[in-house]
Amino acid sequence: MNNTTRDVGHIVKFNGQNFPLWKFGFWILLEQHDLVKIVNGEQALPAEALNAEGVVTNRAAITAWH
């Protein structure tokens, strides 16, 4: 997921009447970029864990999620 530029030119543009075709193409894109679990809500952004001083102790896990 490090590549910030996404080639979406191959996905059929949604025109209000072609949802099944558009959904299929978009779903393939999500699978290719390992994003399905995020979209489904199975993988969520880790909550900040704070120590006694209020410093975030799991910043690496949060950064890795992005």
pLDDT tens digits, residue range 5-34? Answer: 567 777 889 999 999 999 999 999 899 888
- The amino acid present at 14, given as its one-letter code, is F
- Those residues whose C-beta lies under 8 Å from the C-beta of residue 38, and which sit 6 or more positions away, are 44
Q: What is the mean pLDDT of the chain?
A: 83
DSSP annotation of 56 reads: B
**C-beta atoms surrounding 24 within 10 Å:** 13
pLDDT at 44: 78
Inter-residue contact 34 to 45 (CB < 8 Å):
no
